Amino acid sequence: MTVTAPDDLCARLAIDLDGTFAELMSAHQDLVFGVALRVVGDQAGAQDVFQDAFIRAYRALRRYPAERVRELRPRPWLARIALNAARNHVRARKPTEDVTEHHDRLTAATEDPPRIAERRDERAMWKRLLAGLPDRYRLAVALRHVDGLSYAEIAETLGRPIGSVKSDVHRGTQQLRAAYDAEQRNMTRQEAV
């Protein structure tokens, strides 16, 4: 499979939206789903947001003039759409508890159960620590360190200056590190008892 540069993809979207939209979805599905899951908090809700975000993206692209589509930066644009759709979803209904991750089901046959449980516990801990950050820091840290967006892309996604985004990522990472250290100290104390 050939990886397409975003500019080339956007140029093709401007010419043939229906023929190229699936490629846009494929290239950015992990980003959109990841943003949705972190904001909504459960797999089913994130799937609803995922679908809603891509429907909104398709409808927007249909309305945009070809020049705007060609100049589009898809990662921050789609992340912003996913973020807005997820926030609307959260406002509309209360998030439910997260279900067992799909990855655990896929690897259950090939990995030993203690390792699967350990990884699940570790992911749950990081998810809980990340969820404990204030929204401003949580979203910036997740977009940077989980989704791999650049600072410029995060600034565009969140509609904030790049300096503020850098500061939020730095402060959020510091708070996350402090929370992790506290968690480790607490676990050590519990093991000593």
Predicted confidence (pLDDT) per residue in 131-158, tens digit: 888 888 988 888 888 888 889 989 988 8
Looking at the predicted structure, is the pLDDT value of residue 100 above 50?
Answer: no
Q: How far is the C-alpha of 36 from the C-alpha of 43, rounded, in Å?
A: 9
CATH number at residue 124: 1.10.10.10
Residues 1-52: tens digit of each pLDDT: 344 455 689 999 999 999 999 999 999 999 999 999 888 888 999 999 999 9
Do 61 and 17 contact (CB within 8 A), yes or no?
yes
Q: Are residues 48 and 125 in the same domain?
A: no
Looking at per-residue confidence, does 96 or 41 come out higher? 41
Enclosing domain of residue 130: 106-193
Question: String of b and e for 160-187 (b: at least 16 CB within 10 Å)?
Answer: eeeeebeebbebbbebbeebeeeeeeee
Looking at the predicted structure, is the pLDDT value of residue 108 above 60?
Answer: no
Looking at the predicted structure, is the pLDDT value of residue 92 above 80?
Answer: yes
Q: Are residues 115 and 193 in the same domain?
A: yes
- Residue 52 is predicted with a pLDDT of 94
- Residue 119 is predicted with a pLDDT of 74
Q: Are residues 179 and 130 in the same domain?
A: yes
Tokens of 11: 């140029």
Q: How far is the C-alpha of 9 from the C-alpha of 5, rounded, in Å?
A: 6
Query: Which amino acid makes up residue 113?
Result: P
Residue 101 forms part of a structural domain? no
Looking at the predicted structure, is the pLDDT value of residue 117 above 80?
Answer: no
| pLDDT range class, residue 106, cuts 50, 70, 90 | very low
Q: Are residues 91 and 110 in the same domain?
A: no
- Residue 79 is predicted with a pLDDT of 93
Residue 100 forms part of a structural domain? no
- 57 CB neighbour count, 10 Å cutoff: 22
Task: Count the domains in the chain.
Answer: 2
Rounded mean pLDDT, 173-193 = 82
Q: What is the pTM of this model?
A: 0.68
Sign of the CA dihedral running 49, 91, 132, 75:
positive
Distances (CA, A) of 116 to 37, 97, 101, 104: 21, 20, 11, 7
- 139 CB neighbour count, 10 Å cutoff: 24
- Residue 6 is predicted with a pLDDT of 55
Looking at per-residue confidence, does 74 or 124 come out higher? 74
Do 75 and 153 contact (CB within 8 A), yes or no?
yes
